[in-house]
Amino acid sequence: MVAQIKNWIIRRIAVGAFSKRRDVLRFALTRSFWTTIAAVGLNFGVYQLFGRLGFLNVTLPPDPWADTVVTAFVAGPICFLAYYLIGKAIRDLSVSRDAFERLSRTDPLTGLMNRRAFVDVISALNAPYVVAILDIDRFKVINDTYGHAAGDAVLVEVARELRRVLGRDAAVARLGGEEFGVILRDRAKDETIAVMDLVRAALATRTFDVDGSEISVTFSAGVSRGDGKTGYSILLTHADKALYLAKASGRNRVVHSDDILAFVSSADSDAGKIAV
């Protein structure tokens, strides 16, 4: 019985049955009504059975209807209070569970999704999409020059800028440290680069006032396209490699994973010319 009640509570929370206060009130009213009806019926039945059998010297009430009304007025409020308290406890549990779930999927500094939520979103996609990994350039210099509090303030401002420029067209996450992740709807490579360059340019032209110091920030990004079938870990690896190439080729730029081979071939060619 305990296991059944526990499973029932879990199912109700899962479907959001106790997400609002009115849900608790509806639960208490409905349950107390039917419980009161059952109490009245049971009371009447017990009197009839015990009275006819002469069990425990129970006698039929002189006015069954009056006894029914009294039973309803006694059982009703008690049932309502009990069910209301039960419903409130379930709602508090549901709210706590939702709050914990949000906290476990949210970066506490920026308010963006964390890595766990980011990976969950990607792994649930079964249609083509684009993923980008962004890394703030020379972030260690900011921490060393202005302090870690200034570095945290920069991370918050960068998160705001990403959300402002990308809007609802993208899912943005802080993956850890100065690294951010972006999921975009599927688009052609040139359009993807244009979108990410728009974000990069918007950030590069801004200065952040942190405790009286104006700090300029740029980022490098690696982009990869998923077809909805390839495992997300492979796509993230491709985006990471493109990010590394963006860093190695001068920073403050966006590189698509499709261009990695071209970059490598060009670098090999230049090295051959120098050797000659």
Say which of 178, 179, 191, 214 is annotated catalytic: 178
Say whether 178 is catalytic.
yes
Separation of alpha carbons 218 and 252, rounded Å: 6
Helix, strand or coil, per DSSP, at residue 199: helix
Q: Are 42 and 70 in contact, with CB atoms under 8 Å apart?
A: no
Q: How far is CA 2 from CA 91, 97, 124, 263, in A?
A: 19, 20, 34, 64
Both tokens of residue 232?
A: 């997300």
Separation of alpha carbons 172 and 164, rounded Å: 11
Separation of alpha carbons 161 and 182, rounded Å: 13
Q: What is the CA radius of gyration of the chain?
A: 32
Catalytically annotated residues: 178
